[in-house]
Structure 1
Amino acid sequence: MAAINQCIASLSRIGLGTASRPVYATVPLFLAPAIIQTRWKGGPSAGTMAMRARQKEKLKAKLKRKQSRFKEYKYAVASHEERFTLCDAMRYLRAAEVGRPPASATYEIAMRVRTPKNSPVLRSRIQLPYPVKSDTRIAVICKEGSGAMQDARAGGAVAFGEETLFQLIKDNPNDLPFNRLICHADSEPALKKAGLGRILGPKGLMPSLKTNTITRSVKTLMQEMAGAENYRERIGSIRMPIGNIQFTPRQLSENIRALVASVKSNMVRLEEKVKKDMIEIALSSSNGPGFPLSGGFNSTDEKVQPAHLSTAM
């Protein structure tokens, strides 16, 4: 009987002893067994259905905030700087160009456009009422002896042909005799085969359908290109020369109006695909700062008239 009681007492001491602490509380997580790691990571067997649903909603909300944060370009906001009339902006920019050759200084326009990322960009060619550049030199890629070659020669192209023109580009990649290049539709396969993208691409001269430089009417396209300027939207902004520093306020105003009308018409054309808004227009010069325009024309200083800004510098 005494032996039985002693055995029961021993079993009681074992049962009442302090329980060992869980492995995952004393051992680092990466050393714990796989089942414990799964539980701590919130796997299928961890937590309740409500807990998993809340975690899923948090992740979705976080992703949504991240996407909405970078939905538009950071430049697509109007500046808080003072706005100027056209004559006031021209007055300050002409002062910034004093002492420099007038022929080398130009007015430049910058348009800020509110647009979603990865959306179709605004791009086109415009023939301004008063051309900024008069040194347009056009080369034409066309078949030897074709009607397109005759049109190119009659239109004053500085170079034309296929293999001869391709060789000219390869031999003089940094000293091309032209600043505009168009291609006849029949010569497009030869252009692709020539592999000139590395030379012409960085210069913005590679003919393509997007830039409307591949055509079946060389004569018509050459007439459109004479004195025309290309513009393209980049990261929510459109920048291009808009006039020479010697332009009068009226000349510069007509060029700006023509460009704004062209950009807005392109916005309407893309309205079914994406919504774009023009939020600010700024005028600068080759060596001067940018002045946001208010839309007014006359100077705020009554002593400064448009005629005062129409004289040669």
Structure 2
Amino acid sequence: MSALPALEKPLALLFVDIADSTMLYERIGNVTAATLTQRVLAHLRQLVTAHGGAVIKSLGDGLLGAFPAADDSVRAALAMMAAQEDYGLRLRIGIHHGPVIEGIGDLYGDACNVAARVQQIARPGEILATEALIGGLAPDLLALTKLLSNVAMKGKAIPIRVHQIRTTAEVDEAQDSTTLGYSAHTGANAMLTLHLSYRGQDILMSRALPRVTIGREESSGLRIASRQTSRQHAVIDFSRESFILTDHSTNGSFIRSGGSPPVVLRRDSTKLVGSGLIGFGAEVRDEGQDHVIAFRGELA
């Protein structure tokens, strides 16, 4: 007899990972880093179960947790972010809600792939969640969310809408900075924009498109066709009336703006000012190089 088909059931899936773990091992040594990592993972497992979830499996320096309720997954993620400071490191978390099939010690289904991809594009210290997860949240948790962008994913015909989940303090701080930012402009409709250009591709960033992922991966918001560029190289975010470039790569990002000395960015962030060129993975000679994009910021 053929086996009966496994039944799908909807779950909130949470992937969490210790950011920059390779650098952690280099900085404090293998034994100390391994001990710290195990302590952190043990604490994360406790937070999953304390919020009504189950730890499905460990994944190197992270884990996958599953929750019957979307609210519980977000509360667990916020608790994880609150705990990261106790260990002097940062976490990256991605959450998605969708149907999965339970196996022995694992879950299967497209929802798992989506949740994992969302975690991969999160910055260190950030929680990202899909629209499918956000749509099921209680009002108090929904108030902590902020739409970031539509993210193209391999195998998906339609981009996935991704939201950021913030702490109450971060929401209050953002509201204060937004008020100050508007008062500094001459008109209520003033808006800072950032133009990105690469080999015929043009992207206009603003409040309407506050995040662009950059890398060699096909699902990147701006795909760079260069071997020198990492698959998930960098992210540009619109935050507090500024555009912030954050490098996640091994080779670094090289920024040349006006007559200023070039800026080299490795696993760090900087504000983009004025106009110039960015080399993802190598230094910049001219705009025609396959790893170089042009950027231009302006007040509209």
Structure of greater Rg: 1
Q: Which has the higher helix share?
A: 1
TM over 0.5: no
TM range (shorter): under 0.3
Q: Which has the higher strand share?
A: 2
